Amino acid sequence: MKILLKGTGASPGRAEGRVKVILQAEDVQNMREGDILVTCYTTPLLTTAILKARAIVTDEGGLMCHAAIIAREMGIPCVVGTHKATKLLKNGQKVMVDGDEGVVYVPE
């Protein structure tokens, strides 16, 4: 598999799905069940999107950030601190998030 992004693995596991880039709270309505949530950072305003997410990928954050804590509580993979996920990943793109290794791949 081709590595697209590296960050910090903040919640373990692997998940495959389609990217949904959420840059502002109004974009939450575009999130569908099973999408991969890609955002700069999470806040409680993104709760609706987070609850539908199969995994979370953020530009910012570390092991104790909101996205990491919520993902661990929900039992979904999370990669934080990629610095460029919202710029590199595109809506609808199929990816695999590896929360153990802190990597986002293009699945084969």
Q: Which residues are catalytic?
A: 66
Cβ neighbourhood burial of 50 (10 Å; 0-12, 13-18, 19+)? buried
How long is the chain? 108
Q: How far is CA 25 from the centre of its chain?
A: 15
Cite the DSSP H helix spans in 41-108.
47-52, 66-74, 85-88
Q: Which two tokens stand for residue 60?
A: 């910012």
